[in-house]
Chain A
């Protein structure tokens, strides 16, 4: 299948697929909400400096898994290692971008972006400078003193992204960050994300239910099955991203991969 390299999780043996340098290791994570089993025995390695996507139908436990990695939720069983050490809660090496933005409506853009730094005790002048830099980075220069309600959905999510960038975490965790914005904004945002990924040496763990988005952005796609979510398989779409966004979207490997994922998902949708 050309440039599409696949690793079947089941065949590669546990724990998960072999990755040279995983920054996040998810080991045997199971999560139950009362009697609902959301995740069952999930193993995932997130390679350093890459963009990894969690893809799966809605309700399969993507948000749950991401929040467990963030340290916001406790797993029923299993553990998460970051840089080889087990986590016991949120940490400075991870930053979360929320699906509903989670901005403080009473605070300006710059105060929102500087929030993480403020919590870390960074002096005011320094944190405002960092925040200003990150606001520029996500293309919101000039909006520093606006309030969230004065911004569009896409701009609000950029604020959320800038806040995550500001704390210079190694791992950015993004929960369907574009689900609440319109299609044009979404595409623009995806391109910005690709650019950021090249500029900053960061690891992205990204949740989406859009196959196109996953293939367009990812170095690796972790496909989760329906509830209880399990790692179904891992796809590494080796797409040549040197061309323009339109060229990439017409690229044969891109289209093939989208098609292939669609077929394999359809198997367990039905």
Chain B
């Protein structure tokens, strides 16, 4: 970011926004915006409460189980679509519809199907994350250099070993990018799922705070969630960088 021609590092601009928030909060203009320091204090208190910790466990569990399913289904389906044109034609339309559809609208349907419990939240995470993983995996498979596939064939690799030794490794950068984007969507999924059900995990807390106008706690929870989403994306991003060197080498 540049400001008046001077490069401002990310952190500096973040601090600027925090200061601005603090001032607005101190001025007591809008009761919805308490001072930033008060929110931080609330955040610290919050993470030390049993309610929050239990909600965190519930949320993380739903998130990682949902993501696990999304990866376990998304990657193989993407591989299949990338390798088998018939499968691509059959599934392509649906994947493209769902990847950009407003999936929140489907959560009530899931609630009817799966009840008002954890399962629905897991299913929501899955539903939010899986499509982009499928699409990115498929793109990665389609970008495997034709000559690498010919090389494998000419040296006697069968279908299975071509898949495991060439296709998956070659598509790994795209697969990881898909998983990273899937995780960001998954965080959305877990929050929206919990909010709509509103008796589980953070959803219950959000419901509690907003109903009782506990704005400090409300914002504290929001900030913690944002931080979590960024941390998750950053983690996968780091993994991606590790293998990035060969993505650039491919023709």
Mark A residues whose CB is within 8 Å of B.
Answer: 67, 70-72, 89-90, 92, 94-96, 98-100, 102, 104-106, 115-116, 119-120, 147-149, 163, 167
Smallest CB separation, A240 vs chain B (Å): 35
Q: With A100-B251, A149-B245, A149-B246 in contact, is A106–B154 under 8 Å at CB?
A: no
Instruction: Give the interface centre of B148, B153, B154, B243 by most chain A CB atoms within 10 Å.
Output: B154
B197-227: which residues lie under 8 A (CB-CB) from chain A? none
Label chain A's interface by main secondary structure: loop
**Alpha-carbon gap, A162 to B166, bound state (A):** 19
Distance in angstroms between the alpha carbons of A105 and B170 in the assembled complex: 8
Which of B147, B156, B166, B248 lies in contact with A98, CB distance below 8 A?
Answer: B147
Q: Which residues of chain A are within 8 angstroms of B166 by Cβ–Cβ distance? A: 104
20 pairs, A vs B, C-beta closer than 8 Å: A67-B150, A72-B154, A89-B153, A92-B156, A96-B151, A98-B147, A98-B151, A100-B147, A102-B148, A102-B151, A104-B148, A104-B166, A104-B169, A105-B246, A105-B250, A116-B155, A119-B155, A119-B161, A148-B249, A167-B155
Give the contacts of B134-188 with A (CB-CB under 8 A).
Answer: 145, 147-148, 150-157, 161, 166, 169-170, 172
* Min CB–CB distance A96 → chain B (angstroms): 4
Name the residue on B nearest A94 (C-beta). B154
Dominant SS among interface residues on chain B: helix
CA distance A118 to B67 in the complex (A): 34
CA distance in complex: A89, B161 (Å): 17
Q: Is the beta-carbon distance between B154 and A120 smaller than 8 angstroms?
A: no
A104 smallest CB distance to B (angstroms): 7
Q: How far is the CB of B240 from chain A (nearest CB, A)?
A: 14
- Other 9 A-B pairs with CB < 8 A, given A72-B153, A116-B155, A116-B156: A90-B153, A95-B154, A98-B147, A104-B148, A105-B245, A115-B155, A119-B157, A148-B249, A163-B155
Residue ranges of B at the interface with A (Cβ–Cβ < 8 Å) = 145, 147-148, 150-157, 161, 166, 169-170, 172, 243, 245-246, 248-251
Counting residue pairs across A and B whose Cβ atoms lie within 8 Å, the total is: 62
Query: Please, which residue of chain B has its CB at the minimum distance from the CB of A175?
Result: B147
The chain A residue with its CB closest to the CB of B151 is A102
Look across to chain B and name the residue whose beta carbon is closest to the beta carbon of A71: B154
- CA gap between A147 and B245 in the complex, in Å: 10
CA–CA, A98 and B151, complex, Å: 8
CB of A106 within 8 A of CB of B243, answer yes
A116 proximity list for chain B (CB < 8 A): 155-156
Residues in A with CB closer than 8 Å to B243 are: 106
- Of the candidates B151, B157, B249, the one whose C-beta lies within 8 Å of that of A105 is B249
CB distance from A12 to the nearest CB of B (A): 31
| CB <8 Å contact, A102 and B145 | yes
Contacts of A72 in B (CB 8 A): 150, 153-154
**Most B CB atoms within 10 A — which of A89, A98, A167?**
A98
Closest CB of chain A to B172's CB: distance in Å?
8
Compute how far the CA of A203 lies from the CA of B236 in the bound complex, rounded to whole angstroms: 49
| CA of A99 to CA of B172, assembled, Å | 24
In chain B, what residue has the closest Cβ to A89?
B153
